[in-house]
Amino acid sequence: MEKLQAQLNELLARLSNESEVKARLESLVSVYPFNEFEYIISTLLGAGVLSLDAYYELRDEYIARNLYLYIFEISAPRGFGEAWAQGHLKELVPDLVKPTKKLDHEYSGQYDFRLDSKIRIEVKASRAVDFESDEPLYVKALAASSKRPFDMNFQQIKPGCCDVFVWVGVWRDFIRYWVLSSNEVAANRYYSAGQHRGNVGEGQLHVKHDNITDFAKYEACSNELAAAIREAHKRQTAR
C-alpha cells in the first residue's frame, strides 16, 4: 500500500490543481466501491497525467505485490483457519482425506486430515501483520521482504492428537509452509504448553520476525508438501 500511495502522490504532484484535489480528498466521503484510490486514479486519468496503459501497469504491479491480501480480509477465525487453510492445503495435496468415524473409530475432531490411511495431520495457519499497528488486518498486512516486527501465533496445538503438523504462514505476497512431526513441536523450545488453564496437552507457539529462521529446516515448497508430510511422519515413528 505504501508503494502505491507514493506512486500516486508522485503523479498528483504533476497536476496543475494539485492543492485543489488534495483538499477534496480531505473531505472525501467513501462508499464502496467509490473510495480515495478510485477518486485519485479517475482524476489522474481524466487529466491525462496517467495513461490507460500506465494504469494497467500500475494495477498489475499492485496485484503482484498483494496477491494474497484478500486472505487478510477474512475476519472470522474459523473462516481463515479452517475453511481457507484446510481448503488451500487440500488443493495442494489432493490425496489428503478428511477423517471420519468409519476411517478412524477413535476420531472426534482432534485432527484435520489423513494421508496414506495412517498419517494424522493437523493444519494451523496464521498471518504476518505489523505487530506494532492497530490498523485492520488488511492494512497492516506485511510483505515477505518487510523488516517490520510480526508475531504469528499458532494456537490450540495438541501434539498428542496428531502425527504431523502443517503450519501455513501468509504474507500479502507470499505463503510459507512448515511441516513438523508432533514430537518436534512438543520438544521445540518455543512451544508453550498450557495455553488455557485446565487444557491438558494443549499449547501454543509463536513464529516471529526474530525466530523464523529457526524453523527454516521444516519449511517446504507447495509442490513438496506430500513428501514433507511423509518425511515428518518417518521422523515421528523412528525408534
- Higher pLDDT residue, 1 or 234? 234
Class of the CATH domain delimited by 69-237: alpha beta
- pLDDT of 200 reads 63
Domain boundaries, the chain: 2-65, 69-237
What's the mean pLDDT in 6-15?
A: 90
Q: 113 with 104: CB under 8 angstroms?
A: no
Q: Say if residue 199's pLDDT is above 80.
A: no
What is the average pLDDT across 53-70? Answer: 93
Q: Which of 139-153, 166-180, 195-209 has the lowest mean pLDDT?
A: 195-209
Q: Residue 68 above 90 pLDDT?
A: yes
Q: If you average pLDDT over residues 168-193, what whole number do you get?
A: 96
Largest separation between any pair of C-alpha atoms in the chain = 75
pTM: 0.84
Residue 195 has pLDDT above 80, yes or no: no
In the prediction, which pLDDT does 31 show? Answer: 87
Q: Which pLDDT tens digit goes with each residue over 86-105?
A: 999 999 999 999 999 998 89
**What distance in Å separates the CA atoms of residue 49 and residue 181, rounded to the nearest whole number?**
56
Confidence grade of residue 160 (pLDDT, cut at 50, 70, 90): very high
Q: Is the pLDDT higher at 136 or at 1? A: 136
The pLDDT score that the predictor gives to residue 197 is 54
Please report which confidence band the pLDDT of residue 10 belongs to, taking 50, 70 and 90 as the band edges. Answer: very high
Q: Does residue 42 carry a pLDDT above 80? A: yes
Q: Kindly write down the DSSP assignment for every residue of the chain, as one continuous string.
A: -HHHHHHHHHHHTT-TTHHHHHHHHHT---BTTB-HHHHHHHHHHHHTSS-HHHHHHHHHHHHHHTTTGGGGG--SHHIIIIIIHHHHHHHH-TT-B---TTT-TT-SSS-SEEETTTEEEEEEEEE-B-TT--S-HHHHBPPTT--S--EEEEEEE-GGG-SEEEEEEE-SS-EEEEEEEHHHHHH-TTEEE-SSTT-TT-EEEEEETTTGGGGGGGEE-GGGHHHHHHHHHHHHH--
Average pLDDT, the chain: 92
Q: What is the pLDDT of residues 205-230, one digit of tens each?
A: 999 999 999 999 999 999 999 999 99
